[in-house]
Amino acid sequence: MRSFDDGSASQAPNAFNPFFLTRFGEQDEPPTGGEADVAGPWFVEEVPGVGFGLFRAGESLARGFQPAAVFPDRWLALVAAAVLPGTGRDAAFRLEKEPGTAGYDVVLEDGTAVGHFALFDEALLDAMNIAVGLARSPWSLACLLEAAGPLALERCGALLDERVFAANVRTR
């Protein structure tokens, strides 16, 4: 998370007085601060001679802000823009450390088991949490779809059309 102590509050344009931001920055950050710092929306802007930078809404090179991340290719910046908001949220799922009768339980924050893995697979759980982060945010999902490119979207559209059509035919 960005700190006001790094001087960024006084260098970049902001509606709040730099003195106020410095004093306010001395207080403890509320628990929502981490999510607010990465929530976005994020915009991809070309950084001349470098690549493509990731900027929060209201920030840009022209306004004196530095990008949160820079990539040589636009599609990579779009992928980062898609997943970044989810990094500030608590994970939707966690994996029980000890196996039960069916395997390793996948549980929600309240402890409700919603599935299980035969093997202890943290990579699969991480991927599921990333996917939920994308599904929670139409903005994030749109960034990911744009990063996928026109051919992938054409193929995806055909698959979705077939699934929706087949589901509608079955319910009639």
What ranges do the domains of the chain cover? Answer: 1-30, 39-89+147-172, 90-136
Whole-number pLDDT of residue 171: 66
Whole-number pLDDT of residue 163: 86
Percent of the chain's residues with pLDDT above 90? 56
Name the 3-class secondary structure at 68: coil
Q: What's the pLDDT tens digit per position in 88-101?
A: 888 999 999 999 99
Q: What's the pLDDT tens digit per position in 157-172?
A: 889 889 888 766 666 6
Whole-number pLDDT of residue 6: 46
Sequence-distant (≥ 6) Cβ neighbours of residue 93 within 8 angstroms: 106, 107, 108, 114, 125, 128, 129, 132
Q: Which helix (H) or strand (E) holds 159?
A: helix 150-171
Whole-number pLDDT of residue 22: 81
In angstroms, rounded to a whole number, what is the distance separating the alpha carbons of residues 96 and 111?
10
Q: Does the pLDDT value for residue 138 go beyond 60?
A: yes
Highest mean pLDDT among 7-16, 21-30, 74-83, 130-139: 74-83
Confidence class of residue 10 from pLDDT cuts 50, 70 and 90? very low
CA 16 to chain centre: 27
Helices 74-83, 138-148: axis angle to 10 degrees equals: 160
Q: What's the pLDDT tens digit per position in 100-134?
A: 999 999 999 999 999 999 999 999 999 999 999 99
Q: What's the pLDDT tens digit per position in 26-58?
A: 887 776 677 777 887 899 999 999 999 999 988
